[in-house]
């Protein structure tokens, strides 16, 4: 018996028997066949803490976000937890800056007070803290400066002290973002020595010297007073180096690693996911968020569609965790999806 053209096509996996569009025909079919699924469980909401009470300072470059005093930050953290977001990432913001970043590790510093307030308001919430010195240094760099250069080894002790102070305030996870060599090992040793062996480390292992940090620097008051950060943050042209950084940090004791920024570094997320066995986080940074917001405000694109597509791409690349200023929006959008 002779085969029909359709039978021959089916045997060879060709049109017209094979029609991939069948699985895209309806919303229900598309949901069934979806390979990558965003979930609230993946999300981390960044928050900016300042001193005072009842203080809210809207951040022009980050629409929908403000610098918040501990009481208001705690309420925002509780709201995020109640919405199903499992974690927040806290950045302390201060006007009190000096050459030793004293407020970075102060027990009554803005980060420490924000952590304590968030944990009291939502004990089950995972509180992550950014461990860096730039927002607390009078020169705006991420470490100790000697002769106009950031000194790697002298910076490690201050970073370790800062991480310990965050753990003492109640942080569940500390996240060093400074890009000093050896900082993960230094933090792990200090945390363990001070009785915080259970405090996890999420390393900004592959943090690039990116053009997409502008809105954040306005929010945190962390722009460098001279030069730039290319001497310690990564060259955007390098991917193999990022894998090396992630592997080194895991070897030093990192429980999780991060790629920052995310949208323009999907290949690095994928490479990291294949190279290490710990969770990989992606930071959808301020500039990436603000570009979507600005274009949406002008009617140039649909904010929801653009944000969800961007974040789905990060998950598709291999991110287990996504830090995003859109976190609360994403939860609402997922609930609204039929």
Beta carbons within 10 angstroms of residue 164's beta carbon: 22
Q: What is the CA radius of gyration of the chain?
A: 22
Angle (CA) 172-204-260 rounded to 5° is: 125
Beta carbons within 10 angstroms of residue 2's beta carbon: 5
Q: Determine the 3-state secondary structure of 182 from DSSP.
A: coil
Q: Which residues are catalytic?
A: 207, 260
User: What's the DSSP call for residue 234?
Assistant: B
Rounded to whole angstroms, how far apart are CA atoms 32 and 28?
6
Rounded to whole angstroms, how far apart are CA atoms 55 and 66?
9
Nearest to 63, CA basis, from 220, 287, 263: 287
Nearest to 162, CA basis, from 90, 216, 237, 84: 90
Rounded to whole angstroms, how far apart are CA atoms 222 and 225?
9
Q: Are 118 and 90 in contact (CB under 8 A)?
A: yes
Those residues whose C-beta lies under 8 Å from the C-beta of residue 19, and which sit 6 or more positions away, are none
Give the distance between the most distant pair of CA atoms in the chain.
Answer: 88
Inter-helix orientation angle 240-252/266-275, to 10°: 40
């Amino acid at each position: 018996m002779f085969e029909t053209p359709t039978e021959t096509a089916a045997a060879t996996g060709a049109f017209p028997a094979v029609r991939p569009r069948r699985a895209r025909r309806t919303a229900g079919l598309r949901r069934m066949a979806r390979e990558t699924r965003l979930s609230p469980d993946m999300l981390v909401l960044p928050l900016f803490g300042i001193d005072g009470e009842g203080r809210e300072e809207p951040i022009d470059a980050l629409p929908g976000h403000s610098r918040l005093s501990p009481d208001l930050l705690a309420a925002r953290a509780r709201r995020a937890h109640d919405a199903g977001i499992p974690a927040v990432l806290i950045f302390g913001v201060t006007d009190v800056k000096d050459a030793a970043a004293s407020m970075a590790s102060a027990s009554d510093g803005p980060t420490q007070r924000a952590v304590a307030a968030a944990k009291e308001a939502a004990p089950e919430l995972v509180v992550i803290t950014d461990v860096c010195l730039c927002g607390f240094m009078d020169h705006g760099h991420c470490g100790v400066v000697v002769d106009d250069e950031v000194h790697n080894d002298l910076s490690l002790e201050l970073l370790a002290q800062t991480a310990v102070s965050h753990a003492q305030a109640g942080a569940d996870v500390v996240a060093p973002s400074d890009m000093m060599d050896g900082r993960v090992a230094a933090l792990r040793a200090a945390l363990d020595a001070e009785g915080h062996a259970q405090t996890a480390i999420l390393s900004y292992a592959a943090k690039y010297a990116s053009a997409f940090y502008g809105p954040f620097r306005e929010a945190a008051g962390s722009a460098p007073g001279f030069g730039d950060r290319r001497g310690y943050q990564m060259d955007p042209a390098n991917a193999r180096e990022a894998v090396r950084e992630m592997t080194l940090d895991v070897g030093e004791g990192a429980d999780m690693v991060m790629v920052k920024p995310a949208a323009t570094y999907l290949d690095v997320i994928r490479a990291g996911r294949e190279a290490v066995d710990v969770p990989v986080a992606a930071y959808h940074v301020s500039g990436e968020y603000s570009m979507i917001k600005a274009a949406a405000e002008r009617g140039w694109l649909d904010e929801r569609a653009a944000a969800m597509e961007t974040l789905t791409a990060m998950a598709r690349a291999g991110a287990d965790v996504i830090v995003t200023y859109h976190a609360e929006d994403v939860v609402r959008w997922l609930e609204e999806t039929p």
